[in-house]
Amino acid sequence: MTSSKSSKRSKGSPGPKQELPAKIFHAVNIISLLLMIFSGLQIYNANPVFGGRGGWHFPSIFLLGGWLAGGRSWHFAAMWVFSLNLLAYGTYILLTRRWQKRFISQSDIQVLQKGQNLKRKNYAWHRLIYTAIVPILVLAIASGLAMYKPAQLYWLSGLFGSWQTLRTVHFITVPIVVLFAIAHFLLSQKVGGYRLIKSMFT
């Protein structure tokens, strides 16, 4: 009897709600990230990072832009949207103090080392990857800007040593960001289930 009452309450309980800025951030992030990936692969095919012009090419179904100049136009346009979106969201979580719940703390590290509560561990893992992706995003944007304006930002491109190293670093950040997005999705599902995922887009 008690279990049936509790199940009724759980079914009737309101689902998780997300703030409008968080919804906008995620939507813009996903769209601009996909545009950057597909247009970036178009740029890659013009001169593959590994193997030179004779290196492995991505199939046309994954490309955006039609040719090198078109791919660059899409890529850099999406890059500005992506970067400004990250800056706006960073400012938002700073002003609202949401960073205290988004990034890993000492207590999270202790939970990962010794904790027994699975849900608490999932939260800690979520904050860990949320924190770890920040320097990767900074590296992706910095290396992208260095290739975008190598003459004007010579000091930035110079930090990477050679042009090939710069291209390799920028290319490697892409699968890392994709893996982060997948891990972010799976951990969100573990913590809050499908209702949490749905609340971010409805």
pLDDT at 152 (0 to 100): 93
Whether residue 64 contacts residue 51, with contact meaning beta carbons closer than 8 Å, is answered with: no
Those residues whose C-beta lies under 8 Å from the C-beta of residue 69, and which sit 6 or more positions away, are none
Q: What tokens does 52 get?
A: 């030179």
Residue-wise pLDDT for 58-69, tens only, equals 888 999 988 889
Lowest average pLDDT, out of 7-21, 23-37, 86-100, goes to 7-21
Would you say 155 and 139 are in contact if contact means Cβ atoms under 8 Å apart? no
Rounded CA-CA distance 118/190 in Å is: 10
What number of other Cβ atoms are within 10 A of residue 35's Cβ?
19
Q: For the segment 27-59, what is each residue's pLDDT rounded down to a tens digit?
A: 898 899 999 999 999 999 888 887 766 778 888
pTM of the predicted protein model: 0.76
Lowest mean per-residue pLDDT among 13-17, 94-98, 198-202: 13-17
The three-point CA angle 75-77-78 to 5° equals 65
Please give the single-letter amino acid code of residue 145.
Answer: L
**pLDDT-based confidence at residue 92 (cuts at 50, 70, 90):** confident
